Amino acid sequence: MSQAVMSVRAVAAAVVALVALIGAPATPATAATEGFRDVTGRHQFYREISWLTERGITTGYADNSFRPSGEVSREAFAAFLYRLAGRPGVSVPSRSPFKDVSTNAQFYREIVWLEKQHITTGWADGTFRPKDAISRSAMAAFLYRYKGSPSYTPPSTSRFTDTRTSSTFYTEVSWLASTGMTTGYADGTFRPYDGTSRAATAAFLFRGFGNASYHAPTYAPPTTWHTDRDYTRIINDPESVLVVVNKRRALDPLRYAPADLVTLSGISGGSTRYMRREAATAMSRMHAAVRAKGMTFSIVSAYRSHDYQRALFARYARQHGVASAETFSARAGHSEHQTGWTADLGAGTCSLGGCFGSSTVGRWVAAHSHEYGFIIRYPQGAQAITGYIYEPWHVRYVGVELATYMHDHDIDTLEEQFGLPAAPDYR
Ligand SMILES: [Zn+2]
């Protein structure tokens, strides 16, 4: 086990211990320590969404997603405010105040509370329209009333180009801006009738009710593989050792570059080539094992940046034609080499050829590389799945746990391992 793995586990254990200390978690422990499957540490509102989760204002969805770009419905916002208020006791009437909210609706209690607090009056026709997206101006009004309708005199000139002083919620929208909860858009508009995304709502609420000194938990995706985990988010995360990149799965962001690249010094050709630290350590160990058997391999290629990959693919396309180049080289943003988890190995004069697979060292690599956390990413006969010809020289680091599992269960490709569609082409 690497130092990095140990430290991530230590952090996770500490968070679990902390949660145990402060009482039952309002959310699954995985949401606090590993985040939502669709919100990585790079999300613009990662901190705000973490706060919203820790406060128990949102629990996300049952599939451990947060759906940051999803619009907030009126009933969901009722639930957010109710939880923000600390889930006060509500005597729930047997007759609904709204004709379109049944007494057994999922958020009946929350909507009743909202109505009793005079935060909403619903629509003139007696409906609440719970499933409608809440508009930005309605959200402003709800928040203004939630704060107890503070006395506030709006400016005589609107600060937003699309909100008149005569607009229905002019006071509420101006108040919201005065609190700093919203700044509107860069073009000077507020867009009062637009819906609000869940991520933006997290930001509103954090600015209005959060603590400026709040520190979000360190984003810590699992670094190892276990049979019982959900990997949907992890395999999309370029930082993860389990990221899956192919012709139908681009890196996100497309110009991703790892931050912990180190040289593969000590291996022929390695002093000017780079992998991520954990993979480089594993590569050194594998090389030492090979040397102990009286063999060796060289590093032909390892990390390649987005720009380098683009130039490389263009060169191959000129030399061999695009169709042929597609079978052995990736477009920029689609190359495993851009992740820093991959290297191409050479054996003597054999470089990037089938000869590597039949060489003594190549046969050893095929049989033993899993013990060091590597897989042969493009195996023989899998071009319809991986999109690439047999490349016995191209090894991908995935960690010992997964490499060994795939070896022991005869799973040849990451696509099959994670139940992903075949990626023969870019579509
Ligand atoms: Zn390669």
Tokens at 215, concatenated: 């520190």
As a whole-number percent, the residues of the chain with pLDDT over 90 amount to 71
Element (H, E) at 262: strand 261-263
Cα of 222 to ligand 1 centre, how many Å? 25
pLDDT at residue 324 tops 90: yes
Cα of 353 to ligand 1 centre, how many Å? 11
DSSP strand pairing (374-376 vs 342-346): unpaired
State the Cα–Cα distance between residues 238 and 259, nearest whole angstrom. Answer: 11
**Count of CA atoms in the C-beta half-sphere (13 A) of 336:** 29
State the Cα–Cα distance between residues 179 and 184, nearest whole angstrom. Answer: 12
Give residue-wise pLDDT tens across range 226-259. 777 778 778 888 888 899 999 999 998 899 998 8
Buried-state track 15-43, b at ≥16 Cβ within 10 A, e below 16: beeebeeeeebbbeebbbbbbbbbbbbeb
Tokens at 272, concatenated: 């000017």
Radius of gyration of the chain (CA): 27
Cα of 357 to ligand 1 centre, how many Å? 14
pLDDT at 35: 66
Confidence of residue 222 (pLDDT cuts 50, 70, 90): low
State the Cα–Cα distance between residues 293 and 63, nearest whole angstrom. Answer: 48
- Phi-psi category of residue 126: left, alpha or beta, with phi > 0 → left and psi -120 to 50 → alpha: left
Listed in sequence order, the residues at least 6 apart from 296 whose beta carbon sits closer than 8 Å to its beta carbon are 268, 287, 290, 361
Model-wide pTM > 0.75? no
Give the active site residues: 391
pLDDT at residue 32 tops 80: no
> What single letter denotes the amino acid at residue 261?
L
pLDDT at residue 3 tops 60: no
Cα of 263 to ligand 1 centre, how many Å? 17
| DSSP symbol at 249 | B
Structural domains of the chain sorted by starting position, each given as residue range(s) with its CATH number in brackets: 1-68+199-220 (no CATH), 234-417 (3.30.1380.10)
- Closest C-alpha to 381, from 424, 345, 417, 343: 424
- Closest C-alpha to 50, from 215, 221, 235, 180: 215
